């Protein structure tokens, strides 16, 4: 029996039925397949590996081979309702550019990533003096595709820099389900092993208002 990743479960709750969706770095198409069957989305994928593209095509998914750092530029503005980047941002060469492009081509971006501020990561560096290997970061430093690791606080600063509104945020730890959080709470940078954000464009005024909102409720994940 195949186990569904917990961040996939949260994404399924966020995406509205029948939406136009682009999954960037879609791998072998597991998330796109779930969205197609559970939410009847008009789904597209962008995947850098030929093996991943072939696996997606075998599932009957519409996927093209491409690089998020270079090929998002080819999509017209607001082509999609959602652009998804699941556990891929840290492997891109230009994370700022990629995030900017996601919110140009889609009304909302859903982004998940491992949190380098998690307490186990900090403890590993402090006690062993070595790059950590955790559930969210399982590969040794010499073979990992991750080149731009960040903390929850780092990512939040980037959203401010890009004038992006945080519409919802969830944290993951261990094998448990996602937990709605207020990403501005300092404690969450220690507790979250990985994070998931739903983002949209904002005016300066609305971005400030969004930052003052109370912690995200479960209702935000019932879309």
Taking only the tens place, the pLDDT of each residue in 67-112 is: 999 999 999 999 999 999 999 898 899 999 999 999 999 999 999 9
pLDDT at position 1 over 50: no
* 195 beta partners: 113, 171
- Which has the higher per-residue pLDDT, 221 or 64? 64
pLDDT value at residue 142 = 67
For the question of whether the overall pTM of this predicted structure is more than 0.85, the answer is no
The residue assigned the tokens 């909302």 is: 108
Q: Cα 152–158–161 angle (5° rounding)?
A: 145
pLDDT value at residue 204 = 45
Range in 33-37, 93-97, 137-141, 178-182 the model is least confident about: 137-141
Which domains does the chain show, CATH number per domain? 6-211 (3.40.50.150)
* Short-list 6, 11, 66, 59, CA closest to 39: 11
Sheet with 179-180, side-by-side order of all strands: 63-65, 42-47, 20-24, 80-86, 106-114, 194-201, 164-172, 179-180
Taking only the tens place, the pLDDT of each residue in 13-43 is: 999 999 999 999 999 999 999 999 999 999 9
pLDDT value at residue 123 = 85
* DSSP string of the chain, one letter each residue: -PPPPHHHHHHHHHSPTT-EEEEET-TTSHHHHHHHHHH--EEEEEES-HHHHHHHHHTT--EEE--HHHHGGGSPTT-EEEEEEES-GGGSS-HHHHHHHHHHHEEEEEEEEEBTTSHHHHHHHHHH-S----SSS-S-TTT----S-B-HHHHHHHHHHTTEEEEEEEEE-TTSPPEE--TT-TTHHHH-SEEEEEEEE--HHHHHHHHTSPPPPGGGG--
Please give the biggest Cα pair distance in the chain.
49
* Short-list 70, 92, 66, 85, CA closest to 147: 92
Angstrom distance (rounded) from CA 209 to CA 186: 19
Q: Residues 106, 83: contact at Cβ < 8 Å?
A: yes
Angstrom distance (rounded) from CA 107 to CA 204: 17
Burial class of residue 4 (count of CB atoms within 10 Å of its CB; 0-12, 13-18, 19+): exposed
pLDDT value at residue 3 = 56
The average pLDDT across 34-54 equals: 97
Task: Determine what percent of the chain is predicted with pLDDT higher than 70.
Answer: 82
């Amino acid at each position: 029996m195949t186990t569904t990743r917990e961040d996939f479960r949260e994404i399924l709750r966020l995406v509205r039925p029948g939406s136009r969706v682009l999954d960037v770095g879609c791998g072998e198409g597991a998330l796109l397949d779930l969205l197609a069957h559970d939410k009847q989305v008009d789904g597209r994928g962008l995947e850098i590996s030929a093996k991943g593209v072939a696996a997606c095509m075998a599932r009957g998914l519409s996927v093209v081979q491409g690089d998020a750092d270079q090929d998002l530029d080819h999509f017209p503005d607001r082509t999609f309702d959602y652009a998804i980047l699941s556990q891929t941002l840290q492997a891109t060469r230009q994370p700022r550019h990629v995030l900017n492009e996601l919110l140009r081509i889609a009304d909302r971006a859903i982004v998940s990533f491992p949190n380098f501020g998690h307490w186990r990561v900090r403890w590993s560096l402090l006690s062993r003096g070595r790059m950590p290997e955790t559930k969210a970061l399982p590969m040794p430093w010499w073979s990992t595709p991750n080149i731009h690791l960040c903390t929850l606080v780092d990512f939040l600063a980037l959203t401010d820099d890009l004038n992006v509104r945080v519409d919802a945020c969830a944290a993951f730890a261990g094998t448990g389900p996602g937990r709605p959080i207020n990403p501005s709470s300092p404690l969450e940078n220690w507790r979250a092993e990985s994070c998931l954000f739903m983002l949209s464009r904002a005016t300066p005024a609305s971005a400030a208002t969004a930052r003052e909102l109370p912690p995200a409720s479960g209702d935000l994940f019932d879309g």
